[in-house]
């Protein structure tokens, strides 16, 4: 059988499969569509595993209670972080000067040029980052 015929057969069966799957798909009414759109991110999406050096700083008490991108109020004594692109809910291991802390991304930022990650005060304190305020850290996704 020639490559052309094989391609035609594959295309034909793909079309049959697509058409049959469309038959079984019910049409959602408008209320169902709105319920799906209103669902918040569950944190189930995992970021690709990686480890890299980033420049980190931290949030203090001045932002306590402000709503984060996850919808939760900022808690400076929680173990959280802000990153511009990592999915909300991504868990990270952040290491600095021989110490490490586990945090969860729950916000967007930082918005200061040259910084890649903002930690909560508790997380920064645990690894000794409160002294310098901002420094290179090793970040590994978990």
Delimit the domains of the chain by residue range.
3-37, 51-141
Average pLDDT over residues 13-18: 54
Which whole-number Å values give the CA distances from 53 to 6, 7, 50, 136, 140, in the listed order? 50, 47, 10, 6, 9
List C-alpha distances in Å: 89 to 53, 75, 122, 138: 20, 15, 18, 19
Q: How confident is the model at residue 72 (pLDDT cuts 50, 70, 90)?
A: very high
- Are 105 and 87 a contacting pair, CB within 8 Å? yes
Give the mean model confidence (pLDDT) for residues 66-74. 96
The average pLDDT across 52-57 equals 97
Tell me whether residue 103 is exposed, middle or buried, using C-beta atoms within 10 angstroms of its C-beta: 0 to 12, 13 to 18, 19 or more.
buried
Q: CA 91 to CA 82: how far, in whole Å?
A: 11
Determine the pLDDT at residue 33: 43
Section 59-85 average pLDDT = 96
Q: Tell the burial category of 135 from Cβ atoms under 10 Å away from its Cβ (0-12, 13-18, 19+).
A: middle
CATH number for the segment(s) 51-141? 2.40.40.10
Higher local confidence (pLDDT), 107 or 15: 107
């Amino acid at each position: 059988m020639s490559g052309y015929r094989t391609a035609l057969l594959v295309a034909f069966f793909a079309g049959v499969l697509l058409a049959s799957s469309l038959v079984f798909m019910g049409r959602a009414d408008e209320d169902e569509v709105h319920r799906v759109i209103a669902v918040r991110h569950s944190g189930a999406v995992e970021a690709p595993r990686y480890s890299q050096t980033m420049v980190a700083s931290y949030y203090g008490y001045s932002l306590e209670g402000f709503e984060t991108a996850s919808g939760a109020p900022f808690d400076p004594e929680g173990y959280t972080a802000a990153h511009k692109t990592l999915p909300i809910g991504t868990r990270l291991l952040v290491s600095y000067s021989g110490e490490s802390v586990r945090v969860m991304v729950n916000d967007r930022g930082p918005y200061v040029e040259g910084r890649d990650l903002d930690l909560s005060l508790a997380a920064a304190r645990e690894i000794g980052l409160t002294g310098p305020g901002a420094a290179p850290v090793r970040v590994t996704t978990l």
